[in-house]
Structure 1
Amino acid sequence: MAWTETDWAELELTAKLVDAFFQGDHKVAGEIRQRTAKWGATVEDRSRLRMSIVEPDEIPGNEAPASGPSEFDEPGPEEGGSLVSEAESFLKAFGNG
């Protein structure tokens, strides 16, 4: 689903309302809630709108292309790797290391 110019305008207005809320204007909270509900901001909103979120690889015929190992396939920090080694790999790959 593509967003139209009016969708983006609505999003911009909502962003301004959220900014006003965080600046202390709490009277806009209800308006923010109503506007974000129209986009399916929560699970309940999406259920009411009959929306579902699927990952791109869950769409039939939209499988990710198979790829071989790359220099970035080393384990990350959460997998026991080192953040420093990841940074070094990045710099080496882009000619600054």
Structure 2
Amino acid sequence: MFKNLQLATATLPDADALVYEPLDSRYIRIMRIGCALLWIFGLAAVWVIYLIADEPKAWLPVFLALSAALLLGLIGNQSILHRAFQYRGIAVRE
């Protein structure tokens, strides 16, 4: 039977004392694809809204600015993701 016992947080081992193993280098590819799909979905949503707008020509500068911001966000996110991946790891415990 399943039990969900409460633990005293003072008895848990300190996270700094753990030895972390780096993640598999292939995992960053999965992370990059997932993040890129999210940004591309946002970009597609912006353009779908543009296409159904009442006066698309009047809103073109706004949608171009939003598109540029999303593309810069995608590029920035991909570069930060690479740096953040270097600090990630796993630690197997009891």
What TM-score does the superposition give when structure 1 sets the normalisation length?
Answer: 0.28
Structure richer in strand, relative to its length: 2
> Relative to total residues, which structure has the larger helix share, 1 or 2?
2
